[in-house]
Amino acid sequence: MRPEMEKTYDHARVEGALYKTWEERGYFHARPNTGKPPYTIVIPPPNITGRLHMGHAIDETLQDVLIRFKRMSGFETLWVPGTDHASIATEVKIVEQMAKEGITKKDIGREGFLKRAWAWRNEYGSAIVKQLRYLGSSCDWERERFTMDEGCSKAVTKVFVHLYNKGLIYRGDRIINWCPDCKTALSDAEVEYEEQHSHLWHVRYDAPDKSYSITVATTRPETMLGDTGVAVNPEDPRYKHLIGKTVIIPAVGREIPIVGDEYCEMEFGTGAVKITPAHDPNDFDVAMRQNLPVLRVYTDAGFINENGGKFVGLERFECRKAIVKQLEASGNLVKIEPYSHNVGTCYR
């Protein structure tokens, strides 16, 4: 008598037993020196910030198709599985978890936090591996890696030193994306832009003897603490006679030069741009071309540092209010316009 087909497919029973058989028989294990042509894929290691999603499922399935096809075509195939520590992104997740418990990193210290980080890795790393197995991924699990494994860390260090010795890695001052909350740098890809409704402040910079002046428009008046120049387009008939002269930064009292640079758009704002090299990438480039100094006025936490004079210690938005108030009092605030623009924010 023929057995009846089950009315429902029990994937856990069928696939679990099948996958176990595949592993026990070593179907996924790559063996060196077999004489077969090699074919290897190193899995783009999923971050341990959570569990796999549909994007991962599609990606792993496509890799599995390639590996299985090559395996059946006579290649010695190796699909190296693993997970990525994800560094700051994982730290943010752990901090969020701790916040729900009313705990901060300061409360438990470095060692206590590292203990939690490894516990997180064990939990979510194991969950990801389990999901990959559920997908039927034909990985060589005997070669599973974590990006902080000793071998991986040594490889990264070796490559870094090699590139440094070749002059391809060097240290220099550059503008970076910095998050004052995470207190870490962000790559350009990690910056998310959102439209914000703010203002455009028009501020008059006077000559030392007040015989002339130039007005700039800015969305961040507090950054004038770090101004080291005012730039105008060298072809702008309104300002080209001022190139080479100097003006005084209002609310600060420091003298800075007026320079000519094609970066300035004559049609935008007033056509004159305050140059704050330490806190704007375009201004930094102008400063490098014009040999202007770079003056940093923010701390890592977004407060005004010792270069901010009487504004030292103020949070950046508090400083904005204080400077605008002083500009109004001195008569250097020409006007304020509503302005909407895209502002970079931390994706975390």
| Residues 179-219 pLDDT 10s | 888 788 888 888 888 888 889 999 999 999 999 999 999 99
Band of pLDDT at residue 78, cut at 50, 70 and 90? very high
The answer to whether the predicted template modeling score (pTM) of the entire model surpasses 0.85 is no
- Residue 132 predicted with pLDDT over 80: yes
| Residues 246-287 pLDDT 10s | 999 999 999 999 999 999 998 888 999 999 999 999 999 999
- Residue 152 predicted with pLDDT over 80: yes
Nearest to 272 by CA among 286, 292, 252: 286
| Residues 276-316 pLDDT 10s | 999 999 999 999 999 999 999 999 999 999 999 999 999 99
pLDDT value at position 1?
Answer: 60
Residues 149-171: what's their mean pLDDT? Answer: 95
Band of pLDDT at residue 345, cut at 50, 70 and 90? confident
Residues 16-38: what's their mean pLDDT? Answer: 93
Mean pLDDT rounded to a whole number for the chain: 92
DSSP assignment of 230-295: EEE-TT-TTTGGGTT-EEE-TTT--EEEEEE-TTS-TTSTTSEEEE-GGG-HHHHHHHHHHT----
User: What amino acid occupies position 288?
Assistant: M
| Residues 11-25 pLDDT 10s | 888 888 899 999 999
In the chain, the domains with their CATH numbers are: 11-152 (3.40.50.620), 189-346 (3.90.740.10)
Nearest to 120 by CA among 149, 142, 145, 95: 95
- Residue 149 predicted with pLDDT over 70: yes
Structure-token match 């971050």, residue found: 47
Class of residue 259 by CB neighbours under 10 A (exposed 0-12, middle 13-18, buried 19+) = buried
Helix (H, G, I), strand (E, B) or coil at 163: helix
| Residues 233-245 pLDDT 10s | 999 999 999 999 9
